[in-house]
Structure 1
Amino acid sequence: ENLKETTTRVLASLTPREERVLRMRFGIGMNTDHTLEEVGQQFSVTRERIRQIEAKALRKLKHPSRSRKLRSFLDQ
């Protein structure tokens, strides 16, 4: 399995909202990344709320059950 497939699978383990926020913020599968303000406008919430959603999603990704799948790519 390659990095793209693994990333897609790991992101899919988040809530749909968390996945979309991370994809937009980091430009995953998009032409460019987006600011907190731009993402907030898409979801009709504040920049601060997007920052909170992003932080929670990143915390989830750092959990060993998810990070182990991606960490193997760092060792290559």
Structure 2
Amino acid sequence: SLSEPLREDGDAELGDVVEDRSAESPFEMAATALLPVEINRLLAPLDEREREILRLRFGLDRGEPRTLEEVGEHFNLTRERIRQIEARAMSKLRHPSSDTGARDLLSV
């Protein structure tokens, strides 16, 4: 049983030292909590529609990435227009005046 004492003094139980591989590590929990904040900071130079298009296209809200067609349907725009808006948004993020750190991420 996991509630069995490890020592005679009863301070620790077996369950205290057995690793739960399904549990998130403290690092993973912190990264998960900080990710939305960091995404918002990186996308701040964009207008609302550009931000939403990138969020949908790349699955940035913990969703599945969507196709140009799917995003176009969401906004009632053609996939070509979505591609153009996405390209303009990415260009803005790469520009030196948007000093959010996104330029370094996008140059990879």
Identify, as 1 or 2, the structure richer in helix: 1
Structure 1 unmatched runs, 5+: none
Q: Which piece of structure 1 moves more, 26-35 or 48-57? A: 26-35
Counterpart Cα distance in 2 of 1:55 and 1:65: 17
* Structure with greater Cα Rg: 2
Q: CA RMSD in A?
A: 2.1
Size of the alignment, in residue pairs? 71
Aligned: 1:39 with 2:39: no
The residue that corresponds to 2:60 in the other structure is 28
The runs of at least 4 consecutive aligned structure 1 residues that moved more than 4 Å come to none
Alignment of 1:1-76 (within 5 A): 4=35, 5-66=37-98, 69-70=101-102, 71=104
Counterpart Cα distance in 1 of 2:61 and 2:78: 23
Kept in 2: contact 1:6–1:69 (CA 8 A): no
Structure 2 unmatched runs, 5+: 1-30
Q: Which piece of structure 1 moves more, 60-69 or 34-43? A: 60-69
Residue type at the aligned position of 1:7: I
Report the CA distance shift for 1:29/1:63 in structure 2 as closer, same or farther (over 3 A). same
Q: Which piece of structure 1 moves more, 52-61 or 28-37? A: 28-37
